[in-house]
């Protein structure tokens, strides 16, 4: 019988070599790592404190805001802790299909969200 | 940040709004109605769980895609949604019903709204499953809407058809031959009849119908058929004078209109014969030579009040009569023809009905062995019951069956019935065969022998019990193919007898090559043998020749004891006629045990 793999912590995601972004309960970007900067062109100076929706395509923004709100209101989400193929917006406005893996944790009573965004071959279908 | 508010205040406000939005989003995910928000152009921005279920896709695969590509079509294949925008105005405030399936009923009510305060004009759609609460009135309304749509389509078709008819009405020329067509001919006849009011004379029609044209079409295809029609038109036209009009009615029917002559019918008769001669010149097609022939019906009238339709009908009836005549194939209309054709139509209906409803009767007549008197064979004779328990003579309905193609159904009925009777009574009268008469048309049919052998096999009857009677003319017309088919039957054990021998045109040397087992000498030789010494000599010669060729001889039409003695003395092995019994429905069934024993002992001796 196989065991259900444990959900990795935000720390472990941040310490890995994949592009990483950390956001607070308000959905503002707190940190990004150098791999993220290299992959998507953003710097912490340009993205820090900005809404996370900046890196999401326009078609996903309403659903993102409502889903984000719903999670904070009910603690229920369908997208946490499993890989999602989504488009990510780069600093130059271009789009890169990437695998998003999002984890939520409470730090001192506040939700924080850490995610790795691994660029994929563009031929891969989005799911 | 709002004026006078601190960042901390804004954050509190955002948190409160998020909490409210989150609860609303959660609430919307619990309802049964499918909700979807799209951009002005219809790209999905958000949807609830019921919408995901409706389109069978998770939300992440729906976002950004055009709404119309996600929704299933209606049961009639039409899109679920009409266009979302009518010009600059969205479909806001509209409510309509769509059917995903009618049985079982799966109906959606769709509402569309626009967010007016938002300059990007997003659309909000609600798709509600109303299958369980669809009222009778809504269904009726939907049925009426469908009916209106159907009527609109039908009306459009009707208008199109009328236009086609109007256009066709302007055509007065046959597209194949370039001759005047039926419409043009009618106008010409009408004009000619009108002229009779002022200048007495006659309007005469020659209704010409090609013989065997269908066979040519079937054998060589329609293109060759069309080429032949063009050639026919050329030949007929070449035989006509300047005042005579040739038209093609359609198919293989041509009509000549003439107004010349003091003796209209007599002159038309001569014209018909002249046209037949011109037509009969050989015509080569794909290395085969065809001699076209036609039957001509003539109708003439000096009555200006006679309708065009009536004159054409009379010529057509006369043509029909001409087809039934052997020889020249020309007939002039008279009232007797009218009655005769009517009788033919009634007879045809009676025959069709008798075949369909199994009302035909099968009689058998004995063919006896003249040496010991036992029944060697039975000839099966089909009978058509007429009104008042009468029987319509075969001489009336068999030619009609051959003309109309009913002969095939008739032949199959006889074969099935004979095989059934052989199954039932055959074992009791071992050695006794049953003979069936075959029409030349049946014999010419592809797979004739194989068809008979297959039926024999299915019935489990010994092929040796069956005899096929054919006439000389069949063997003369297509000797090679016919002989091949008959030989197939003989190889399987079926006997072949040559019927009505002596009245045809067979040469004696040719007789030796025929695939036959017996000759049936025509009754006229037996009837006149003692009155006409020359016929008596011919009869003797035929019997001796058959014996020399190893063929069995059957003398037909034996009515008296003297005839029986004479035939026996001549060496005829078998005899048939009233002397031994008339045909009857119970002959096979009542064939006696004593007869069977004779037959068995004979079979053993053989």
Domains of chain B, each with CATH number or no CATH: 31-134 (3.30.450.20), 182-333 (3.30.70.270), 345-600 (3.20.20.450)
| pLDDT score of B598 | 46
| pLDDT above 60 for B585 | yes
Does B509 or B330 have the greater pLDDT score? B330
Where does residue A121 rank: exposed (0-12), middle (13-18), buried (19+ CB within 10 A)? exposed
CA atoms within 13 A on the CB side of B348: 14
pLDDT, position B507: 60
Comparison of pLDDT for B263 and A114, the residue scoring more: A114
Give the residue, B603 or B591, on which the prediction is more confident: B591
Closest C-alpha among A70, A64, A53 to residue B25: A70
| Mean pLDDT on B99-106 | 81
Domain boundaries, chain A: 10-119
The predicted structure's pLDDT at residue B400: 87
- Model confidence pLDDT, tens digit, residues B527-572: 888 888 888 898 898 899 888 889 999 999 999 999 999 999 999 9
**Phi and psi (nearest 5°) for B174?**
-70, 125
> Which token pair is B309?
């339709």
8 A C-beta contact, residue B474 and residue B443: yes
User: Contact, A103 vs A81, CB < 8 A?
Assistant: yes
B212 against A122, higher pLDDT: B212
List residues in chain B touching A: CB distance below 8 A: 11, 14-15, 17-23, 25-26, 37, 43-46, 59-61, 63-64
Q: What is the mean pLDDT of chain B?
A: 86
In this structure, of A21-35, A71-85, B301-315, B375-389, the range with the lowest mean pLDDT score is A71-85
Q: Does A73 touch chain B (CB under 8 A)?
A: yes
Helix (H) or strand (E) holding B468: strand B466-471
Beta-bridge partners for B377: B367, B433
Three-class secondary structure of residue B441 per DSSP: helix
**How are strands ordered across the β-sheet holding A20-23?**
A29-32, A20-23, A110-119, A95-107, A84-89
- Write the residue in A59, A74, A127 that is nearest to B26 by C-beta: A74
Nearest CA in chain B to A86: B60
**Shortest alpha-carbon distance between residue B138 and chain A (Å):** 36
Put simply, the answer to whether A59 touches B25 (Cβ < 8 Å) is no
Interface test with B, best of A63, A75, A126 (most B CBs within 10 A): A63
CATH number of A10-119: 3.30.450.20
Helix (H) or strand (E) holding B325: none
- ipTM (interface predicted TM): 0.85
Per the CB < 8 Å rule, is A63 touching B46? yes
Cα separation of A83 and A103, whole Å?
A: 10
Predicted confidence (pLDDT) per residue in B368-400, tens digit: 999 999 999 999 999 999 877 788 888 889 988
Region B151-160 average pLDDT: 87
pLDDT at A1 over 60: no
pLDDT score of B222 more than 80: yes
* Residue B156 reports pLDDT greater than 80: yes
Q: Are B124 and B37 in contact (CB under 8 A)?
A: yes
Q: CA–CA separation, B100 vs B56, rounded Å?
A: 14
Asked whether the beta carbons of B312 and B207 are under 8 A apart, the reply is: yes
- Any bridge partners for residue A112, and if so which? A105
> In chain B, which residues have their Cβ closer than 8 Å to the Cβ of A65?
21
Report whether B362 contacts B380 (CB < 8 A).
yes
pLDDT at A79 exceeding the cut of 60: yes
Query: A127 pLDDT exceeds 80?
Result: no
Listed in sequence order, the residues at least 6 apart from A66 whose beta carbon sits closer than 8 Å to its beta carbon are B21, B22, B25, B46
Residues B448, B441: Cα–Cα separation, whole Å? 10
Task: State the pLDDT at residue B3.
Answer: 55
Contact between chains at A69 and B15 (C-beta distance less than 8 A)? no
Selected residue of A73, A86, A113 to mutate for chain B interface (largest B Cβ count, 10 A) = A73
Range list of H helices, B289-334: 308-324
Residue B361 has pLDDT above 80, yes or no: yes
Region A107-111: what's the mean pLDDT? Answer: 88
Contact indicator for B338, B344 with CB cutoff of 8 Å? no
Tell me the count of A-B CB pairs closer than 8 A: 65
Packed helices B407-425 and B335-356: angle between N→C axes, nearest 10 degrees? 40
The region of weakest confidence among B253-262, B276-285, B593-602 is: B593-602
* High-pLDDT (> 90) share of chain B, %: 40
CA angle B234, B237, B242 (to 5 degrees): 150
- Partner residue opposite A63 with nearest CB, options B15, B26, B59: B59
Tokens of B11: 């954050």
Residue B23 has its nearest CB partner, among A61, A68, A73, at A73
Give phi and psi for B381, each to the nearest 5: -130, 120
Interface test with B, best of A25, A56, A66 (most B CBs within 10 A): A66
Please write the tens of the pLDDT for every residue from B454-490.
999 999 999 999 999 998 777 766 677 788 899 999 9
Q: Judge contact between B172 and B184, C-beta under 8 A.
A: yes
Question: What is the model's pLDDT at position B605?
Answer: 40
Chain-chain contact of A70 with B63 (C-beta, under 8 angstroms): no
At B282-295, the pLDDT tens digits run: 888 777 788 889 99
In a mutational test of the A interface, the residue from B10, B16, B18, B24 whose CB has the highest number of chain A CBs within 10 Å is B18
Cβ contacts of B462 within 8 Å, gap of 6 or more: B426, B493
Mean pLDDT over B164-178 rounds to 76
> Stretch B50-65: mean pLDDT, rounded?
92
Indicate the residue of A69, A78, A127 with minimum beta-carbon distance to B21: A69
For A45, phi then psi, to 5°, come to -70, -35
CA atoms within 13 A on the CB side of B491: 9
- Top-confidence residue, B598 or B269: B269
B-chain CB neighbours of A79 within 8 Å are 60
pLDDT band at B412 (very low <50, low <70, confident <90, very high): very high
pLDDT band at A122 (very low <50, low <70, confident <90, very high): low
Q: What residues form DSSP beta bridges with B34?
A: B127
| SS3 of B361-412 | EEEEEEEEECCCCCEEEEEEEEEEECHHHCEECHHHHHHHHHHHCCHHHHHH
List all residues 6 or more positions away from B68 whose beta carbon is below 8 Å from its beta carbon: B42, B79, B81
Contact B21 A70 (CB under 8 A): yes
Question: Which residues on B lie below 8 Å from A26 (Cβ)?
Answer: 11, 14-15
Return the ∠ at Cα B195 (arms to B193 and B196), rounded to 5°.
70
The confidence score (pLDDT) of residue B599 equals: 45
């Amino acid at each position: 019988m196989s065991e259900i793999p444990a959900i990795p912590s935000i720390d472990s995601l941040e310490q890995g070599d994949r592009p990483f972004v950390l956001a607070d309960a308000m959905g503002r970007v707190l940190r990004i790592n150098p791999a993220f900067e290299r992959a998507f062109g953003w710097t912490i100076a340009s993205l820090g404190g900005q809404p996370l929706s900046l890196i999401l395509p326009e078609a996903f923004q309403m659903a993102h805001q409502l889903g984000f709100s719903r999670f904070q209101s009910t603690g229920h989400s369908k997208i946490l802790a499993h890989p999602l193929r989504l488009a990510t917006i780069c600093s130059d406005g271009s789009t890169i299909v990437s695998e998003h893996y999002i984890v939520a944790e409470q730090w001192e009573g506040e939700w924080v969200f850490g995610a790795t965004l691994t660029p994929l071959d563009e031929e891969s279908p989005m799911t | 940040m709002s004026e006078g508010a601190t960042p901390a205040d804004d954050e509190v406000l955002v948190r409160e709004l998020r909490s409210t939005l989150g609860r609303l989003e959660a609430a919307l995910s619990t309802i049964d109605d499918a909700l979807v928000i799209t951009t002005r152009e219809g790209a999905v921005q958000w949807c609830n769980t019921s919408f995901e279920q409706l389109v069978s896709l998770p939300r992440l695969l729906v976002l950004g895609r055009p709404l119309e590509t996600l929704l299933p079509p209606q049961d009639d294949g039409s899109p679920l949604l009409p266009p979302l925008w009518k010009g600059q105005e969205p479909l806001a405030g509209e409510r309509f019903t769509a059917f995903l399936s009618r049985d079982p009923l799966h109906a959606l009510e769709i509402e569309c709204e626009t967010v007016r305060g938002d300059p990007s004009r997003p659309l909000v759609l609600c798709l509600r499953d109303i299958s369980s609460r669809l009222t009778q009135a809504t269904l009726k309304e939907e049925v009426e809407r469908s009916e209106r749509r159907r009527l609109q389509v039908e009306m459009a078709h009707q208008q199109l058809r009328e236009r086609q008819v109007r256009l066709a009405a302007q055509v007065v020329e046959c597209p194949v031959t370039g001759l005047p067509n039926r419409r043009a001919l009618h106008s010409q006849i009408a004009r000619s009849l009108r002229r009779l009011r002022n200048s007495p004379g006659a309007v005469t029609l020659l209704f010409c119908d090609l013989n065997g044209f269908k066979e040519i079409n079937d054998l060589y295809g329609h293109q060759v058929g069309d080429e032949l029609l063009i050639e026919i038109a050329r030949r007929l036209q070449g035989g006509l004078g300047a005042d005579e009009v040739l038209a093609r009615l359609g198919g293989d029917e041509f009509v000549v209109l003439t107004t010349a002559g003091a003796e209209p019918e007599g002159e038309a008769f001569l014209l018909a014969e002249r046209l037949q001669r011109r037509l009969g010149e050989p015509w080569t097609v794909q290395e085969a030579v065809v001699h076209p022939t036609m039957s001509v019906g003539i109708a003439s009238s000096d009555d200006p009040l006679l309708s065009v339709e009536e004159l054409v009908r009379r010529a057509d009836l006369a043509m029909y009569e001409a087809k039934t005549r052997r020889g020249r194939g020309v007939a002039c209309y008279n009232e007797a023809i009218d009655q005769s054709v009517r009788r033919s139509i009634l007879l045809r209906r009676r025959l069709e009905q008798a075949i369909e409803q199994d009302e035909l009767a099968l009689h058998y007549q004995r063919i006896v062995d003249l040496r010991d008197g036992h029944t060697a064979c039975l000839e099966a004779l089909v009978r058509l019951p007429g009104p008042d328990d009468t029987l319509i003579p075969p001489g009336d309905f068999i030619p009609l069956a051959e003309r109309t193609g009913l002969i095939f159904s008739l032949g199959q009925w006889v074969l099935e019935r004979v095989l059934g009777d052989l199954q039932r009574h055959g074992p009791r009268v071992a050695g006794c065969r049953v003979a069936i008469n075959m029409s030349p048309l049946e014999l010419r049919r592809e797979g004739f022998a194989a068809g008979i052998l297959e039926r024999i096999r299915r019935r489990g009857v010994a092929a040796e019990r069956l005899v096929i009677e054919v006439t000389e003319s069949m063997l003369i017309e297509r000797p090679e193919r016919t002989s091949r088919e008959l030989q197939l039957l003989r190889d399987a054990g079926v006997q072949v007898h040559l019927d009505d021998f002596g009245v045809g045109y067979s040469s004696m040397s040719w007789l030796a090559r025929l695939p036959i087992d017996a000759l049936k000498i025509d009754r006229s030789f037996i009837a006149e043998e003692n009155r006409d010494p020359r016929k008596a000599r011919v009869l003797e010669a035929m019997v001796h020749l058959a014996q020399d060729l190893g063929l069995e001889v059957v003398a037909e039409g034996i009515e008296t004891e003297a005839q029986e003695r004479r035939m026996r003395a001549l060496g005829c092995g078998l005899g048939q006629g009233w002397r031994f019994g008339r045909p009857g429905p119970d002959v096979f069934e009542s064939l006696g045990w004593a007869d069977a024993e004779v037959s068995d002992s004979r079979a053993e001796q053989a």
